[in-house]
A and B are shown apart, each in its own frame.
Chain A
Amino acid sequence: AQSVAQPEDQVNVAEGNPLTVKCTYSVSGNPYLFWYVQYPNRGLQFLLKYITGDNLVKGSYGFEAEFNKSQTSFHLKKPSALVSDSALYFCAVRGPSGNTGKLIFGQGTTLQVKP
Chain B
Amino acid sequence: KAGVTQTPRYLIKTRGQQVTLSCSPISGHRSVSWYQQTPGQGLQFLFEYFSETQRNKGNFPGRFSGRQFSNSRSEMNVSTLELGDSALYLCASSSTSVGNGELFFGEGSRLTVL
Chain A residues close to B by CB (< 8 Å): 32, 34, 36, 41-46, 49, 51, 90, 94-95, 97-108
Contact = CB atoms under 8 A, between A and B. Distances in A.
B103 interface: yes
Given A44-B92, A98-B99, A100-B97, 13 more contacts: A34-B103, A42-B107, A43-B4, A43-B105, A44-B90, A99-B50, A100-B31, A100-B33, A100-B101, A100-B103, A101-B48, A101-B49, A102-B56
Interface of B: 4, 6, 31-33, 42-43, 45, 48-50, 55-56, 58, 90, 92, 94, 96-108, 110
Contact of A90 (B43, B48, B55): B43
B43 A99 contact: no
Interface of B is mostly: strand
Nearest to B92: A101
A23 to B, nearest CB: 14
Contacts of A106: 42
B107 A43 contact: yes
Nearest to B58: A102
Contacts, number: 81
Contacts of A34: 102-103
B43 A100 contact: no
B104 A46 contact: yes
B90 A100 contact: no
Contacts of A43: 4, 6, 90, 105-108
Nearest to B4: A43
A108 B86 CA distance: 19
Nearest 4 pairs of A and B residues by beta carbon: A101-B48, A101-B33, A43-B105, A105-B43
Nearest to B47: A101
A73 B23 CA distance: 33
B42 A97 contact: no
A26 B99 CA distance: 17
A32 B108 CA distance: 24
A30 to B, nearest CB: 10
